């Protein structure tokens, strides 16, 4: 019976050695997996370092962009002031245009009055031209009559001279 116990213990020992060998292999495999994971973690660490550098660079770029945005804000404020100034200039120009509009209305009224006066003046001028033509005709008639009177007077003088000479 001791032999059977020894054989059983020997069988258990062999079984345990076999299981221990398998367990040792598994531990060795896990060790290599741990080494691989360690390498991956180291690679990820360097990648994290690179990403950290990129993030830092982006931070400085963001700071630069922020400065540019601030500068643009001041430029926008300046442009806003210019637009406000132009608005007041437009208001002044609008007032001038309104004033010119009323001046144009007044000038139009003056022109209409002058046009009416020109038409009245033309009518009077035409009437005077007609009267002058009429007077001219009458003067010609008077001259003709005067010429006839002179001819008759001359004839009468001639007749008187004949009558005086007959006496």
Taking only the tens place, the pLDDT of each residue in 120-150 is 999 999 999 999 999 999 999 999 999 999 9
Q: Give the whole-angstrom CA distance, residue 6 versus residue 3.
A: 5
pTM as predicted: 0.38
Does residue 68 have a pLDDT over 80? Answer: yes
Mean pLDDT for the chain overall: 88
Predicted local confidence at residue 167, as pLDDT: 65
Out of 14-18, 152-156, 161-165, pick the least confident: 14-18
Among 66-80, 90-104, 117-131, name the most confident range: 117-131
- First CA to last CA across the chain, in angstroms? 229
DSSP line for the chain: -HHHHHHHHHHHHHHHHHHHHHHHHHHHHHHHHHHHHHHHHHHHHHHHHHHHHHHHHHHHHHHHHHHHHHHHHHHHHHHHHHHHHHHHHHHHHHHHHHHHHHHHHHHHHHHHHHHHHHHHHHHHHHHHHHHHHHHHHHHHHHHHHHHHHHHHHHHHHHHHHHHHHH-
Instruction: Give the chain's length.
Output: 167
Average of pLDDT values for 25-39?
A: 83
Q: Give the whole-angstrom CA distance, residue 109 versus residue 1.
A: 149
């Amino acid at each position: 019976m001791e032999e059977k116990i020894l054989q059983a213990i020997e069988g258990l020992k062999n079984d345990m050695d076999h299981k221990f060998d398998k367990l040792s292999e598994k531990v060795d495999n896990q060790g290599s997996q741990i080494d691989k994971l360690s390498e991956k973690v180291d690679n990820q660490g360097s990648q994290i370092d690179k990403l950290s550098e990129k993030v830092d660079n982006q931070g400085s770029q963001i700071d630069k962009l922020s400065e540019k945005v601030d500068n643009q804000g001041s430029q926008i404020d300046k442009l806003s002031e210019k637009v406000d100034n132009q608005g007041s200039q437009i208001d002044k120009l609008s007032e001038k245009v309104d004033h010119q509009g009323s001046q144009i209305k007044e000038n139009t009224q003056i022109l209409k009055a002058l046009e009416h006066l020109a038409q009245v003046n033309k009518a009077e001028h035409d009437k005077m031209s007609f009267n002058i033509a009429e007077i001219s005709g009458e003067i010609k008639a008077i001259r003709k009559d005067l010429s006839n009177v002179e001819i008759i007077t001359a004839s009468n003088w001639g007749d008187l001279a004949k009558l005086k000479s007959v006496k």
